[in-house]
Structure 1
Amino acid sequence: MKTTNTSNPSAGGLTKIALRKFKKNFWGVFSLAFLILCVLTAIFAYALAPDNSQNANQMHLSIHSKSPGFRVNMLTIPAVVEQEDGFTSFFFGRKNADAEIPISDFSLKNNKLQIIEYTSDGTGGLEKEFDLSYFPKSATIEAIPKQYISEKKFILGTDKYGRDLLSRMLIGIRISLAIGFVAVFISLIIGITMGALAGYFGGKVDAAIMWIINVTWSIPTLLLVIAITLALGKGFWQVFIAVGLTMWVEVARVVRGQVMSVKQMQYVTAAKALGYNNWRIITKHILPNAMAPVIIISAANFAGAILIESGLSFLGIGAQPPMPSWGGIIKDHYTFIILGKPYLALIPGLAIMSLVTAFMLIGNALRDALDVRN
């Protein structure tokens, strides 16, 4: 007996209508373009960052806490050459980064390069000498300044350890986006599974799952994340798991309500009459017609995950140093707000606000596009 798919015959038409409505939403399209740019920036962060050492951790304590646009002459001393995988270096930074020394002056004497290290107060810094053996690419001592001394500009200034703030911000975006993707993925798997089972089977199954949902819901999110993080230990992946395990509750409640409504439809009754098993009915007929609100919630959960990770990093239990994190950068510099250098905390704060706002605007645009009443 030949059967037809009765679950959603006009899915293609509805999708086209939703896409047209989304394209008409300026802020939704703008936010999507901004997020695509952020994703590309995160992927090629080390290629874009001025400091391509791992975690952009090149420290210059003599030029700490400098304002955006700061310039200084920099002497580069090549690192000992070790074989590094080009792919790994491109995407995860160089393990053997060249050493850099900020200098205020230099001279060539006795066949050696003599430098005076930079000092913030303008007084004479420490004097050092380097012979030709430090610079393998220079044939003569006179060639060293042209090849190894250059003016370096810090577009966003430097942090309290003298690290390039722009590089730290570019690499830190990986943490924020990764926590959003992984946490939302975990929450969707758990939330959709639990919500679908509760809504479809009802009865004792629904009561048991709702009890778990209500207990989890009653615990403050940040407190639960902190407890899970402390149980799993501090670290990069532990934060992902902890945030994901706290965000599934809202997804489960929405999916449960949607499934309870959709399972009363005639095409579900027809699928049961045709002898389809529960797994096929749930995955092929019910869930595809109940996912619109879940998509909207996922966008909001992205924003929530970024904020939670920033809060955890601010508390010191998120991504651990020297790994750059926007929340961690704020933690390191929030005292500078009253010390005359507020930009050190405001720059990562504005970055977090921009990313969260973009996800919220996309969520609003998706809500309007998927609203069948319009």
Structure 2
Amino acid sequence: MASEFEHISPSSQIRKRLLSHKPAMFGLIVILFAIFIALAGHTIMPDKTPDANDGAIQISKQMPIFETKILKFRKRLETQHAGFFESIYNGDETDYIITPIDTFRIVGDTVFYKVYGKKQEEEAFSLIYATKPVFTGHSNLLSDDSLHYNYQIKGDTVRYVDIQKRIRTTTLFELKEEFQKENIETRTYWLGTDRLGRDILSRLMYGTRISLMIGTIAVLISLALGVTLGALSGYFDGWIDNAIHWFMTVVWSIPSIMLVIAITIVLQSKGVWVAFVAVGLTMWVEIARIVRGKIKAIKRKPFIEATHAFGMSHWRIIFRHILPNMLGEIVVVTTSNFAAAILIEAGLSFLGLGVKPPTPSWGMMVSEGYSVIGTSNSWHLIVFPSLCISLLVLAFNLLGNGLRDAYDPNTNHG
């Protein structure tokens, strides 16, 4: 029977079948969007500080689409700013400490404000301290008749010692203008805030990078181990096959999360890179089993017998003539392993064995939400990171199903 694909190459047939698989295309779009968020980094995050960690306890557990005025006080120490590319990946330290407020007013050289949600009397803060990086120690650079350490005001003129121990001059008018422009802003927390008053949207976006990174590293480790051990076991018979197969069976019998915990304990460390390695070391068995089974079937084919007749080396036969014939199976299982790695990392972080605070990961955010479950305004702390985990895992599984159907149309039930 004539086929609509008979005049195009096998790779074009696979691509056409994949593009016509709507669930797989949905999964691919979600994955590409997640990759964009991870690569764009802090340039698109509302909170551009390292680890999206700029929060205020006064606005703890606020609901989505929360808006408030933010009063920013200048830090009285030198801030080490990152370069352009480093700031995209790691973020950049802010020069300010934030306080959410209801109202503020300026009288002379003093700022009076009411902290968000509190009904007590106004608090006061020096205008010069709010806007300028004033030196914190005893400099003795100003005359003895200064009313405060390291700054003095005479009429409208303000002299102060900056953090570089240099005397600077400005005016009250300039300070007030700078304060209105730089120290007051209105922030909208689109997905609300966590229990420490940090922006949930920014931390979810940062967590996307963690999930994709751990998936990538874990899959690369599992591919290297799985393909190598599976190829050795499938190609060579005898004691090599028996030993590797026994090892695969032992590892396969241990639950993944328990094996990851054991590896983490053995490495005596917690952190993102340990999590990457631990997850990768638990996911290679499925790849090895598939590679082993396929090689045992392919190595008896006539074209492989011909390579032996030409005197080709075992490694060339395996990597140049056998493995390319099982690329489809490897791609499919690799995609499913991405989803599994994301779930395992989330479980590790939930148990406190994954990335270290304050670096945000979705599993850790679920754990933080779980710790305050039952309190007011807490549902979104669990729901949003859980939705992110579920959506990305679903996307990889849908893409994996689409790739399976594309490489083997006999399994296509779409």
State the TM-score bracket (shorter-chain normalisation): over 0.9
Corresponding residue SS for 1:77: strand
Unaligned segments of structure 1, at least 5 residues: 1-9
Q: Which amino acid aligns with 1:64?
A: S
- Give distance in 2, aligned partners of 1:195 and 1:97: 54
Check whether the contact 1:52–1:93 (CA below 8 A) recurs between aligned residues. yes
Q: Which amino acid aligns with 1:177?
A: L
Corresponding residue SS for 1:338: coil
* 1:264-322 Cα distance to aligned partner (Å, 9 max, x none): 11111111111111111101000000221111111111111100000010001111101
- Give distance in 2, aligned partners of 1:102 and 1:52: 18
TM-score by length of 2: 0.84
Q: Which amino acid aligns with 2:43?
A: A
Corresponding residue SS for 1:178: helix
Hey, what does 2:397 align to over in structure 1? 360
Match of residue 316, structure 1, among 328, 338, 352: 352
Match of residue 112, structure 1, among 101, 110, 113: 110
1:126 and 1:191, CA in 2 relative to 1: closer, same or farther beyond 3 A? farther
1:187-336 equivalences in 2 (<5 Å): 187-232=222-267, 233-336=269-372
Match of residue 52, structure 1, among 48, 52, 58: 48
Corresponding residue SS for 1:332: helix
Corresponding residue SS for 1:28: helix
Check whether the contact 2:48–2:91 (CA below 8 A) recurs between aligned residues. yes
Greater Cα radius of gyration, structure 1 or 2: 2
Matched, 1:154 2:189: yes
1:86 and 1:125, CA in 2 relative to 1: closer, same or farther beyond 3 A? farther
Check whether the contact 2:79–2:93 (CA below 8 A) recurs between aligned residues. no
Hey, what does 1:86 align to over in structure 2? 84
C-alpha displacement at 1:173, in angstroms?
0.9
C-alpha displacement at 1:41, in angstroms?
0.1
C-alpha displacement at 1:114, in angstroms?
1.9
- Give distance in 1, aligned partners of 2:213 and 2:175: 48
Hey, what does 1:4 align to over in structure 2? none
TM-score by length of 1: 0.92
Q: Select between 92-101 and 139-148 the one with higher mean Cα deviation.
A: 139-148
Q: Which amino acid aligns with 1:90?
A: I
Taking only the aligned residue pairs, the percentage that are identical comes to 39
Query: What is the alpha-carbon root mean square deviation over aligned residues?
Result: 1.9
* 1:221-248 Cα distance to aligned partner (Å, 9 max, x none): 1111100011111111000110100100
Match of residue 35, structure 1, among 31, 35, 39: 31
- Give distance in 2, aligned partners of 1:188 and 1:143: 56
Q: Which amino acid aligns with 2:396?
A: F
- Give distance in 2, aligned partners of 1:272 and 1:109: 91
Check whether the contact 1:53–1:97 (CA below 8 A) recurs between aligned residues. no
**Higher share in helix:** 1
Q: Which amino acid aligns with 2:46?
A: P
Check whether the contact 2:235–2:295 (CA below 8 A) recurs between aligned residues. yes
Hey, what does 1:7 align to over in structure 2? none
C-alpha displacement at 1:96, in angstroms?
4.2
Hey, what does 2:215 align to over in structure 1? 180
C-alpha displacement at 1:204, in angstroms?
1.3
Hey, what does 2:381 align to over in structure 1? 344
Q: Which amino acid aligns with 1:84?
A: A
- Give distance in 1, aligned partners of 2:201 and 2:81: 28
1:82 and 1:336, CA in 2 relative to 1: closer, same or farther beyond 3 A? closer
Q: Select between 219-228 and 90-99 the one with higher mean Cα deviation.
A: 90-99
Check whether the contact 2:82–2:91 (CA below 8 A) recurs between aligned residues. no
Check whether the contact 1:310–1:326 (CA below 8 A) recurs between aligned residues. yes
Q: Runs (4+) of structure 1 moved beyond 6 Å?
A: none
Check whether the contact 1:114–1:128 (CA below 8 A) recurs between aligned residues. yes
Check whether the contact 1:118–1:125 (CA below 8 A) recurs between aligned residues. no
* 1:90-137 Cα distance to aligned partner (Å, 9 max, x none): 221113453211111111112322222212xx4226613122353259
- Give distance in 2, aligned partners of 1:82 and 1:234: 27
1:277 and 1:143, CA in 2 relative to 1: closer, same or farther beyond 3 A? closer
Residue-pair matches, total: 362
Check whether the contact 1:192–1:252 (CA below 8 A) recurs between aligned residues. yes
Unaligned segments of structure 2, at least 5 residues: 1-5, 133-169
Hey, what does 2:201 align to over in structure 1? 166
